[in-house]
Amino acid sequence: MSEPSLTCDSLLRKATISIAGESPRLDAELLLGQVTGLSRTSFRAWPERQVTATEARRFEALVQLRAIGHPVAHLLGEQEFWSLPLKVNASTLIPRPDTECLVEAVLGLAVTDTARVLDLGTGTGAIALALANERRGWQILACDAEASAVELATDNALRLNLPVTLVLSEWFDQLPAGRFDVIVSNPPYIASDDHHLGEGDVRFEPASALISGEEGLDDIRVIVAASPTWLNAGGWLVIEHGYDQGDAVRRLFGQAGLVAVETRRDYGDRDRLTLGQWPA
């Protein structure tokens, strides 16, 4: 073990080669930051800085996991969403930047300061917590069908000190009776034979959070059809979906009797969410 190999720069160079993939240098910097507690800027400002042999070994172990595809978020145990540091683990979907479009869409709705909001299939709690962070007066209920997800989201809510109520429920099935001004959801919407399921981070995420029947629409169908009995007059349904599902989802919204139905695009300019209103 020669000393020079334990500089941040040499460790990062080696790791960047073995990680490969889309953003190997960034991934390596995040992992070395995790192990050493140093900031990413410090790797540039002080590339010759030495790390301890123990830190180097821990870093190399993480790099090996990353090289075989484990998501960076799982290795860090954390993923930022709407500037909130969320704990993540293999029991839920890793929050995606595109899902921030749902948060923006909900924040743009004309609803009262004390609106009742429901996040269906909350996973890490990302959407509900982002909304709670922006609208202190909203009463936010979030559910998930997986106990491990409810536990994770509860933990995130407590750590961030954000007032979201978490319940175990498969969609509406175990919810307390009541109606909402906004129902928002990022449900599973990938078709069961989609080749993307064999690539990248999704290989390490639960199928239950990703896959929804042959067309990817099974869960969206259930949520949209049930929404009228859970929405207040004038209340909104906002759902994330695949880039090629806009037409089908708008049709489902229409069949359920929702009005002002509109599909919006994500930061990559692809159809990503549809919203509609239960008529007043």
Does position 84 bind ligand GLN by CB under 6 A? Answer: no
Please report, as residue ranges, which positions from 191 to 230 form the binding site for ligand GLN (by CB under 6 A).
202, 210
Assess 81 for contact with ligand GLN (CB under 6 A).
no
Residue 88 is a binding residue for ligand GLN (CB under 6 A): no
CB of 189 to ligand GLN, least distance (A): 5
Q: How far is the CB of 86 from ligand GLN (least distance, A)?
A: 16
Q: Is 180 in the site for ligand GLN (CB under 6 A)?
A: no
- Number of residues counted as binding ligand GLN (CB under 6 A): 8
Concatenated DSSP letters for the chain? --GGGGBHHHHHHHHHHHH-SS-HHHHHHHHHHHHH---HHHHHH-TT-B--HHHHHHHHHHHHHHHTT--HHHHHTEEEETTEEEE--TTSPPP-GGGHHHHHHHHTS---TT-EEEEES-TTTHHHHHHHHH-TT-EEEEEES-HHHHHHHHHHHHHHT--EEEEE-STTTTPPS--EEEEEE----B-TT-GGGGSGGGGGS-GGGTB-SSSS-HHHHHHHHHGGGTEEEEEEEEEE--TT-HHHHHHHHHHTT-EEEEEEE-TTSSEEEEEEE---
Among 14, 25, 96, 179, indicate the residue that binds ligand GLN (CB under 6 A). 96
Among 188, 235, 246, 276, binds ligand GLN (CB under 6 A): 188
- Report the nearest approach of ligand GLN to the CB of residue 57 (Å): 32
186 binds ligand GLN (CB under 6 A): yes
**Contact set with ligand GLN (CB under 6 A):** 93, 96, 186, 188-190, 202, 210
